[in-house]
Amino acid sequence: MPHAMLKPHILQLSSYPDWDQTALDATYTCHHLPLSAPDLIEAIATSGGAGVPSEIIKACPNLKLIAIYGVGYDNIDLSLCAERHIQITNTPDVLTGDCADLAVGMMLAIARQIPSADHHARSGAWTRTSFPLQRRVWGAKAGILGMGRIGQELATRLTGFGIDIAYAARSEKPLPYKYIPDPIALAAHADFLFVTAAATPETRHIVNAATLKALGPDGYLINISRAANVDESALLDALESHQIAGAALDVFDAEPHINPRFAPLPNALLQPHHASATHATRRAMGQLMRDNLAAHFANRPLLTPVL
């Protein structure tokens, strides 16, 4: 192990599990905000949610790499990084299966009202009345908005339920599912509309009042992508007025602070942005982030570059 003074300097903008933090501290001199020595920083370790504020990128003249623990990079100014020749890596693939799993779980939970049924059994209400009938899932129609890695893994799982799958994407893919490129038409087709698209300026509020109106009073929205892909205000209006049957959400505009309008809604299932939050996957994500950092400082090709 080289002397501590010879460790590369990185800026850490996110907290990590102990196994990752121990490895980072052993290999790097980890700086934290407020930044006192910006000239020393050659790489930044962050998360998809935290991103990197543009003022920090501008303040670090020797910055060469941003390593993201997560798949999303919408909270980073890509144009600024390209201009400064700063590379960006993320951790795709290793979290794909977990995200698809949670999407299926959220579909089942909102359609069958599993949390409410649990309360019905625990509270003793079952001794007085039967739990109300709920929505059947198998044989339904699903629309997947965004057919990348997670969308395709989700589709594979949904086929096991005999679900009729359609999708929207930038272009048609060689897949055995119906291609409906217009999000509003996809919503009109679907009983369950899953949002799995990456967040970009083009996808901001791609699920809006018109999309929700097309989804209709028997349709459910399930978002495991980014909050920016859904117009949250329009969604709350649709839930409160029962314009749609319900929504299952893992992401929110101001998370971890959730709009208080969600709290009293029985047709909303709320999750704490934990689609990838399993022990095995978080270990794999941390390893891949650290492998990208190591590749950079060893002048080797990056494993999962996005820029």
pLDDT for res 5: 59
Average pLDDT over residues 70-80: 95
Q: Distance between CA 31 and CA 9 in Å, rounded?
A: 7
Could you give the domains of the chain?
4-94+279-297 (3.40.50.720), 96-270 (3.40.50.720)
Q: Distance between CA 194 and CA 154 in Å, rounded?
A: 9
Using pLDDT thresholds of 50, 70 and 90, give the confidence band for residue 6.
confident
pLDDT for res 4: 46
Catalytic residue numbers, as ranges:
226, 255, 273
Examine the pLDDT at 35 and tell me if it is beyond 70: yes
Average pLDDT over residues 148-176: 97
Q: Which of 67, 72, 71 has its CA nearest to residue 87?
A: 67
Q: Distance between CA 162 and CA 17 in Å, rounded?
A: 38
Relative to beta strand 246-249, strand 178-179 is: unpaired
Q: Distance between CA 46 and CA 90 in Å, rounded?
A: 10
Which residues, in sequence order, are bridge partners of residue 141?
164
Using pLDDT thresholds of 50, 70 and 90, give the confidence band for residue 55.
very high
Average pLDDT over residues 42-48: 97
Chain segment 176-198, per-residue pLDDT in tens: 999 999 999 999 999 999 999 99
Q: Distance between CA 274 and CA 151 in Å, rounded?
A: 17
pLDDT for res 202: 94
pLDDT for res 147: 97
Q: Distance between CA 38 and CA 16 in Å, rounded?
A: 22
